Amino acid sequence: MPKAHSGSSIRSAEAVVVFGLGWAACVTDQKQMAVVYGAARGGRRPPAAYVVIVSGIGALALVTGVIALVAGSAAMLAALAASMGGLWVIATARHTLASGSGSPSRRPAKTA
């Protein structure tokens, strides 16, 4: 007979993976984060609405991630995954729109 806590521990393990991937995504590009939040010199600051929205979703991800880790809650795991997905969509859209605005890319062009 399976233990009653096995589903909870699986959800906690899943929460560790999702939370860890989100944390890694935040810290891997610290220079870009400095630009986004205006901490870099000479960088263009994003609109305040963007900063408020992504900060709010990030805070939601943090809170739901901690609760999902501690309680093994399926609802909190789903909220964590949804907030991480939302952040990914918003960041991808912002990067796409910024690169399509006619401004040159900061990366050097590939040569054959």
String of DSSP letters for 41-107:
TTPPPPPHHHHHHHHHHHHHHHHHHHHHHHH--HHHHHHHHHHHHHHHHHHHHHHHHHHTTSPPPSS
Helices 6-27, 74-99: axis angle to 10 degrees equals: 20
The position carrying tokens 């997905």 is: 85
Binned at pLDDT 50, 70 and 90, residue 40 comes out as low
pLDDT in tens, 15-38: 888 878 877 777 776 676 666 666
The answer to whether 14 and 71 have CB atoms below 8 angstroms apart is no
pLDDT in tens, 67-94: 888 887 888 888 888 998 898 888 888 8
**pTM for the complete prediction?**
0.63
Residues in contact with 8: Cβ distance below 8 Å, sequence separation at least 6, in sequence order? 71, 72
